[in-house]
Structure 1
Amino acid sequence: MAEEQVELTKFQVLLSEERARLEREMEAFRSDTGKLEGDGRKRTDLGAADGSASLSEREREMGYHDQLEGTLKEVDDALRRVEEGTYGLCELCTEPINEARLEALPFAKLCIACQEKTEG
């Protein structure tokens, strides 16, 4: 039991560090792109000639922002599973997720076999 607690603590620390890193990255993103308006778009005062390039850049920025938010949600979900005592168990088959997988992707919800089934 003590070994399981050490492992759980190790992953809780990894997840907390990842959460802090993501929050720093999101803050840097907000600083780099300026204040986001209510709809999440960067404010620009570009003319029509720059419109398509500007739109493409904004789409990339928002895609990156959405990716960061999605990963942060996954990390928060994993931290919740730690608290609930279900962390490290596959959400589909309920078998333990390989430790190497959790070390590589601490917020993994599925074992490799189930992940491959959902992708295929």
Structure 2
Amino acid sequence: MIKANELEQFRSLLLTLQARLRGDVQDLTREALDNGQDSKTPTHMAELGTETYEQEFSLRMMESEQDILDEVQQALHRIEKGTYGLCQRCVEAGKPPGKSTIPKLRLKVIPYARNCVECERKRESHSHR
């Protein structure tokens, strides 16, 4: 299990990540939805294509960052519930709490991780089929 002081460190890490992602999502939203008021209207098809590509790219990035932001918010909720650091798939499979923890090293790298490495590999292999 994760100690109280470590839990506070993870909470702080998640809150910092959440603040950065919120700013990024807002910036990407403004960039993607900017209707060209700051620039000239494209007069050539290539310019229009470039502008469209950039807008689509910004929208995809915004969607990806929004997904991570959602994961961060769910991780903060797990801290509040007292389930942070437990692998959701292991718990669903009925493993006892001592056998269903996510390694702290993984949480330091991906603080919003829901699953241990083994369960995440299984999940990813099933989703690629």
User: Do they fold alike, i.e. is TM over 0.5?
Assistant: yes
Summarize deviations over 1:64-99 as a string: whole Å, max 9, x none.
Answer: 111111111010010011111111101100200000
How many percent identity over aligned positions? 31
2:27 corresponds to? 28
1:81 corresponds to? 78
Summarize deviations over 1:32-60 as a string: whole Å, max 9, x none.
Answer: x17x3xxxxx4244346133222211110
Query: How many residues of Structure 1 are paired with residues of Structure 2 in the alignment?
Result: 112
1:117 corresponds to? 122
**Cα offset, 1:9, TM superposition:** 1.0
* Whole-angstrom distance in 2 between the partners of 1:82 and 1:105: 15
2:59 corresponds to? 62
Gaps in structure 2 of 5+ consecutive residues: 92-99
**Which TM-score applies when normalising by structure 2?**
0.77
Deviating above 6 A after TM superposition, structure 1's stretches of 4 or more consecutive aligned residues are none
What RMSD over aligned residues (CA atoms) do the two structures have, in Å? 2.0
Query: What are the residue-to-residue correspondences of 1:39-58 with 2, within 5 Å?
Result: 42-44=34-36, 45-47=41-43, 49=45, 50-58=47-55
Gaps in structure 1 of 5+ consecutive residues: 37-41
Summarize deviations over 1:9-42 as a string: whole Å, max 9, x none.
Answer: 11111111111111222233345x17x3xxxxx4
| Matching residue's letter, 2:56 | E
Larger Rg: 2
1:9 corresponds to? 8
* Whole-angstrom distance in 2 between the partners of 1:116 and 1:15: 23
Question: Within the alignment, does 1:103 sit opposite 2:108 as a pair?
Answer: yes
User: Aligned to 1:93, what secondary structure does the other structure show?
Assistant: helix
